[in-house]
Amino acid sequence: MLDVVILTSIVTASVSFLVIDSKLFQWFRSWVKDCPLFKCGICFGHWVALALVIGLKVSLFKCHWIVDIILSTLVIAWLGGLGYLFTNFFVDLGEELKKGE
């Protein structure tokens, strides 16, 4: 079960970074510029985690289904948020190193 949590968290962080911060989706962010959902990678990560939990039927707590979905989403989103922050840190660090050259 731990491997499912880790892999789902990595996917959550990757999708969040791709949609919110990458140049690849700049056209999409400019198209939905008034929607607050697409301004914060951590917030967007919760929705990505929810979609993954429902789509992959991840069940971490084996309790009532709605409670299990909510708690599983929060765990995966929290770990994905850490991954998102680390990704941003290393991207920013790389940009700073490029400026220093």
38/42 Cα distance (integer angstroms): 10
Q: Tokens at residue 74, please?
A: 């929060």
Tens of pLDDT, residues 76-101: 999 999 998 888 888 888 888 888 76
Where exactly are the structural domains of the chain? 2-89
Query: How is residue 57 annotated by DSSP?
Result: T
Tens of pLDDT, residues 18-72: 999 888 999 998 999 888 888 888 999 999 999 999 999 999 998 999 999 999 9
**17 Cβ partners below 8 Å, 6+ apart?**
41, 84, 87, 88
